[in-house]
């Protein structure tokens, strides 16, 4: 199977403004088929101070424009004072592992000489994704030489007892859009348990400094016989979009950013950003959920994959 294009379904949700903990934004969607009828989309939900906690919406698996449930509380709150996630959390990737749901997430901690640090945590649900407990208060992807400021956004694909993992990592900063922003690339490594990782992985997709300053939150999925990793392209012109790479063996990856993607609209909620892609195979269809303008301030979009042979 190959990707021949995407059919936009439009904006499917816009965050309510009346909630204390969820005042705005549908940031960093991570979609998972909870059961044959329902896709659950975990989201970064901002309070009035711009601090993100993780909530969700549920949509019909056959018609994701139909919202059937919305969380009334955070499923994962910010971390304890002094921890890597004390200033916000947003989803990296949700995956079923055995009888549990593993929710990998990115934690924010403010910096002094640099704006912030991002490292990757894990929360686990034993009740089908309705409540989560942290694996620990420390990140499972912590600071190493390959990522002194950013080492997070991990996603996993479990096969033959291996947790194949893609994530973003970097140590540098660039002045983009009037602000200091992190520079990072996409890495790969496997883990025996989804928790234990080596200090260094293998860089599989390189950030192009002529066009972008970071490749964020890679999403790993198998479609047909090939493995795809979808990632955010944090563009220098701030019109963030996404790209993807493909592999048949996790060893060799080919970047395909010039292949069909979900384009920005001429106007509306996704005219400036098609951001944080999350692709889920719902059985009859493959959907991509993404954040719109303002890092999801203007809502959550969806597109349906047009399959090619």
Question: What local confidence, expressed as pLDDT, does residue 117 receive?
Answer: 97
Say what the pLDDT of residue 5 is: 87
Strands 100-110 and 89-97: antiparallel
> Residue 309 — pLDDT band, cuts 50, 70, 90?
very low
Give dist(CA 67, CA 40) in Å, integer: 10
| pLDDT level of residue 195 (50, 70, 90 thresholds) | very high
**Residue in the block written with tokens 């009346």:** 18
Given pLDDT bands bounded at 50, 70 and 90, which one contains residue 2? Answer: low
Each residue's pLDDT tens digit, 97-153: 999 999 999 999 999 999 999 999 999 999 999 999 999 999 999 999 999 999 999
Average pLDDT over residues 27-38: 97
Q: Tell me what pLDDT residue 67 has.
A: 97
Q: How confident is the prediction for the chain on average, in pLDDT?
A: 95
Query: Tokens representing 117?
Result: 């640090």
pLDDT exceeds 80 at position 260: no
Q: Give the percent of the chain with pLDDT over 70.
A: 98
In the predicted model, what is the mean pLDDT of residues 212-224? 95
pLDDT by residue (tens digit) across 224-235?
999 999 999 999
59 neighbors 67 (Cβ within 8 angstroms): yes
The confidence score (pLDDT) of residue 258 equals 79
- Answer yes or no: are the C-beta atoms of 107 and 84 closer than 8 Å: yes
CATH architecture for segment(s) 2-308: 5 Propeller (2.115)
Rounded to whole angstroms, the Cα distance separating 191 from 214 reads: 24
Confidence at 19, pLDDT banded by 50, 70, 90: confident
Instruction: Please state the rounded mean pLDDT for residues 67-76.
Output: 96
Which residues are bridge partners to 122 per DSSP? 104
3 close to 305: Cβ distance less than 8 angstroms? yes
SS in 3 state form for 139-161? CCECCECCECCEEEEEEEEEECC
User: What is the Cα–Cα distance from 162 to 220, expressed in whole angstroms?
Assistant: 14
Query: How far does the chain reach from its first CA to its final CA, in angstroms?
Result: 5
- Whether pLDDT at 308 is above 60: no
């Amino acid at each position: 199977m190959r990707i021949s294009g995407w059919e936009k379904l439009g904006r499917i949700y816009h965050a309510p403004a009346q909630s204390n903990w969820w005042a705005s934004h549908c940031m960093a969607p991570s979609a998972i088929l909870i059961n044959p009828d329902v896709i659950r989309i975990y989201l970064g939900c901002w309070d009035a101070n711009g601090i993100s906690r993780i909530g969700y919406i549920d949509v019909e698996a056959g018609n994701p424009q139909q919202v059937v449930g919305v969380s009334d509380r955070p499923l994962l709150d910010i971390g304890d004072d002094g921890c890597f996630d004390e200033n916000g959390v947003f989803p990296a990737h949700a995956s079923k592992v055995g009888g549990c749901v593993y929710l990998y997430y990115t934690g924010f901690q403010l910096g002094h000489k640099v704006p912030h640090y991002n490292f990757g945590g894990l929360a686990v649900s034993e009740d089908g994704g309705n409540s989560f407990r942290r694996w620990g208060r420390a990140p499972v992807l912590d600071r190493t030489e390959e990522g002194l400021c950013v080492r997070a956004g991990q996603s996993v694909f479990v096969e033959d007892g291996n947790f194949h993992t893609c994530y973003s990592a970097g140590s540098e900063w660039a002045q983009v859009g009037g602000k200091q922003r992190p520079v990072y690339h996409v890495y790969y490594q496997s883990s025996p348990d989804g928790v234990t990782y080596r200090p260094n992985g293998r860089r599989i997709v390189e950030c192009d400094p002529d066009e972008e300053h970071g490749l964020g939150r890679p999403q790993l999925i198998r479609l047909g016989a090939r493995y795809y990793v979808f990632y955010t392209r944090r563009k220098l012109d701030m019109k963030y979009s996404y790209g993807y790479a493909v592999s048949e063996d996790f060893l060799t990856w080919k970047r395909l950013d010039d292949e069909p993607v979900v384009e920005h609209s001429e106007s509306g909620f996704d005219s400036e950003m098609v951001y944080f892609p999350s692709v889920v195979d719902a059985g009859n269809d493959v959907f991509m959920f993404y954040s719109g303008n303002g890092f999801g301030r203007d809502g959550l979009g969806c597109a349906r994959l047009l399959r090619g042979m």
